[in-house]
Structure 1
């Protein structure tokens, strides 16, 4: 049994995927799986299903959605392996370790950060890439009531991606990484860490002028879109690039990679 939240919420098992019959059923499942093994109140479930103006029948509809979900999870029916317990003042989805992909993602990234901290860069990169492979779309897609949680998960995905890229730079990957970063930056134009990594990789590939152009382009974009100046991290990369010492970039990347250990330890 797998409870998948790192894309449109779904349940998967030996017989395939479960298709929810309504957006209410999907939203209730997602809220319970996101907080697996913890009680989620009925009031919270109502807020997730109806972020604004819940109907007078909201509580009854939540109970109905729970009743529809139980046959898919109870050990005596469906595929087995899970259950939804009634625990005042709400419900609790019981799940085993590794069954909720979001929890597995966080576990994998913590392990990868620990490997990075001890100098096992190859293992760390493999761990981060494995964690990222768990994603199959936008987290919690189709559940507007969990938008804040989706944003939180997406931020952690980007942190894992950046940590993985730092490791790959340290391992000496260069040319193909420049192309990958070009695509990533196109989708996240205001993400300064990605821009900084793009500059570093370009410089390490002997493309110093292009690296500096990335800096100037990002500076203009930040000013025009947000009215902000570039951050200290990007300015430091620009200074190292101007100094013409590519090796100094590796010290910056190593610092970022090890800093990620502390970030993941708090999650």
Structure 2
């Protein structure tokens, strides 16, 4: 008994830094942000309790509605394209050929640079008025546009950037493909199944758990996208707020307009929406995700 108590004391001693960090750096800010979401707070004066007024104001805020629309467009178009691109490239790279390691590295590098300011600046220059895209279009006689500064096209340049950075999902798909027994493909070939039928009947069903994981991760990262929109728009949300992502507006509310109470309310609304989206995905998974049986 004494020996067990001594071990418990030692264990709690080692756990103390983690527990303090959890309380001070994680749970403390979470509780504080929840309180601040019900207050009017500008970082300079004491917070003043306003109840649900921040949430009511956001629902009636035109810019807030625009940010929800822009983010929704980004997620609805970008997420499927990222998943499909990652899966197809993973299938192509899951073959035995010379230099396959090099090609895998090339496709994965953009993901390593994902979210960086440098890549966002590069993308802004590529799709700028005098960028690489317009130079290429000029060669074939097409007059280019300022893609990142045009309200009708700016969001699609950011979607293209997100799709280009599918490396992480691709690597996970590759790992899943390696777990599929080759005997299944050999048996299907003997029975006369084409490559397309093998993909539909073997690859996709056995990859559904991996697809579920990638889908959840990509949805969360897409909803939280910030850096690319901030850099490309110069922190303004672009022309007609065409690239005003939800997280960008949240940042502006908190650190440009000093409406920290409103920003906290937006953060909690984001948490609720992400929880609902994740819950819907997991609930639907029982209809399309197949495990060992």
TM-score by length of 2: 0.21
User: Where is the strand percentage greater, Structure 1 or Structure 2?
Assistant: 1
Higher alpha-carbon Rg:
2
User: Where is the helix percentage greater, Structure 1 or Structure 2?
Assistant: 2
TM-score by length of 1: 0.22
Structure with bigger RCO (C-alpha 8 Å, 6+ apart): 2
